[in-house]
Structures are given as structure tokens and as C-alpha cells.
Chain A
Amino acid sequence: ETGVTQTPRHLVMGMTNKKSLKCEQHLGHNAMYWYKQSAKKPLELMFVYNFKEQTENNSVPSRFSPECPNSSHLFLHLHTLQPEDSALYLCASSQERQGFSNQPQHFGDGTRLSIL
């Protein structure tokens, strides 16, 4: 049973749609992350939040907009996506921002996103 829950598990949307991905963690962690996993490519870090503040944006296009209202919830708002944005989007959390702490990251099962 994962302590990080992502919804929806699957999402199909057109390029002009607006949708949001949700991540919730029940582990009492203070850092949360969004990753993108495309076929045949390594996981790519997108955003990092530490104590609700965004600490990293890995040159992500503005059509992806993260939101972290509190330490337990993380959203990824999607708008005017492209076919190449189709991927598995993974959320993770850790006690503190990885690199400042030796606590492991815990991952959700991801949202499989398909852009038509």
C-alpha cells in the first residue's frame, strides 16, 4: 500500500483541454516532486516543493503549472498540451528535499496521460 496517492490513474485529453493531476501523501513529508516518465527515456524531474515553496523548476514549459496548497497535496495543472507530453507522470514525497536529507523518496503509481 502506497502512502502517496495519485488521481486519476489514466487520463485522455485533447490538446485544447484543461485538466489537473492530483497527488496526496499521508506520510507527513515536507517535500514533494513531479516527474515525467516517457517511453525509453529516464525519469525527468519537473518540479520540487519544499515546505510548500517551489524550489526547483527544471525548465518545464508553462503549459504545465504546479500548485502546492499544503505539504500533503500537490497538483499539476495541464493546459494546451502537445502529443509529446503523453507520458507517465509520477509524484513523490520525502521527509525533506532530497539532497538535504538521507530519507528516501516515496512514489505514487502515477497518472498515465495520453494527448490526442
Chain B
Amino acid sequence: KQEVTQIPAALSVPEGENLVLNCSFTDSAIYNLQWFRQDPGKGLTSLLLIQSSQREQTSGRLNASLDKSSGRSTLYIAASQPGDSATYLCAPSGNTPLVFGKGTRLSVIA
């Protein structure tokens, strides 16, 4: 059974700082991995999807990497802004469509 762990559980940084969110998963037989953000009281917004054959994906200030063999993914956020404040969730997909971690709650302080 796939299990997903996200570290840290919460993070508070000053505006402008670069930061890294970590995700680990126990079953490396995945098809892809998605990173989402969730704002309070809202649904999930897809940020990046990395296919199992890929090492990384980039979108604007976001860069996600995937090391499938070691069961790890990281989300790098450059030049953080207050608008980045949200909970970030990673979810690998394989035999089970998406398995979620508990997320990292990010606060970017102006």
C-alpha cells in the first residue's frame, strides 16, 4: 500500500526566500506524481505533473523533481511571495489513482 510523507508539515518564511518542500513515497511503481496547492476552504489546484520517465518539470517559479527509484520528489519555489501561502500536497499515481500526503502548510510573510 502506497504511503506518502511530506516534510515539513508547516513552514513560515519571509517574502523573497527560496524554499524546498519534500515528498517521499513507499512504492516506487508509480505512473506519475502531481503537486497541488490548496487554499483554505477551496479545492485543489494542480501545479505540476511529472511523468515517471521524467526527472523534473518547471512552471514559472516552481520546479518539481522526481527520483522514482528512491521514492522522493521535491517542489522548489523561487522568490516566494505572500500569494504562495497555501497547503502544498504531493500525490503519486500508480495502481491507485492518487495517494495524498498530509501536505505542507506554507506561510510567506511580507
Contacts and interface: CB of A to CB of B under 8 A. Distances in A.
Interface of A: 2, 4, 6, 33, 40-43, 45, 48, 56, 90, 92, 97-100, 102-110, 112
A43 B45 CA distance: 14
A102 B32 contact: yes
B34 A104 contact: yes
A54 B24 CA distance: 29
B44 A90 contact: yes
A99 B100 contact: no
B97 A98 contact: yes
Per DSSP, chain A at the interface is loop
Contacts of A100: 31
A1 to B, nearest CB: 12
9 contacts: A42-B99, A42-B103, A45-B99, A98-B32, A99-B93, A100-B31, A103-B49, A107-B43, A110-B43
